Amino acid sequence: MFPPVRRVRDNGDVSALRAEALSPSTSVQVRLIGPLSVVSGGRAAGPWPRPSARRLCQLVLVSPGRRVSRDLACEELFPGLDPRAAARSVSKALSMARATLAGLGPPADSLLAADLTHIWASQAAEVDADGHERALRAALAMEPGHRRDERLSTALADDGDLLSNLPCGERDVQLQDRPKRHVEDPFRW
């Protein structure tokens, strides 16, 4: 059974306090490089009922700490709506995303969690972009030379685009806007 989870009222460091711990014997693999894919127990999530559900899942998984405020989700996913309508749309997108992930059963059904102010994803999920980032950081930390060049070439060999299943115009806008918001870490956008 799952260990008890300490509940924190202010939602301080949600990523460290997984609301629903994933079982260590099973895993959820998330592919963000290329089209979004969430796989658990050999089954893939989908179809996504609406693009907003898929985009919310992507937004949470690429955000620092795999955590976003509901306000940020409203701004990113529904910029043209008034705040109240955007908040309702985010809640609806979250419900649809959870329903899609629930089709995979445990542990994927607890991948996304939320409270009144934040939405977060479990840190136990294996995200391909995280592994890619670790490989790039490790190569960049090496002394200059042939071995470093080989490691960088290997890490950069994946020609998939992050969030490639977004429409081109939408993805381009998000890629242009993100570095301005998260300048402190060039590997997280």
pLDDT in tens, 19-40: 344 444 468 999 988 888 899 9
Q: What is d(CA 19, CA 15) in angstroms, rounded to the nearest whole number?
A: 9
pTM of the model: 0.67
Residue pLDDT, tens place only, 60-111: 999 989 999 999 999 999 999 999 999 999 999 999 999 999 988 888 888 9
User: Tell me, what's the pLDDT at 160?
Assistant: 62
Provide CB contacts within 8 A for 82, sequence distance 6+: none
Reference 129, options 43, 36, 13, 56; nearest CA is 36
Task: Give the chain's domains with CATH numbers.
Answer: 28-128+161-181 (1.10.10.10)
Kindly report the length of the chain.
189
Q: Which two tokens stand for residue 73?
A: 């989700």
Q: Whole-number mean pLDDT of the chain? A: 77
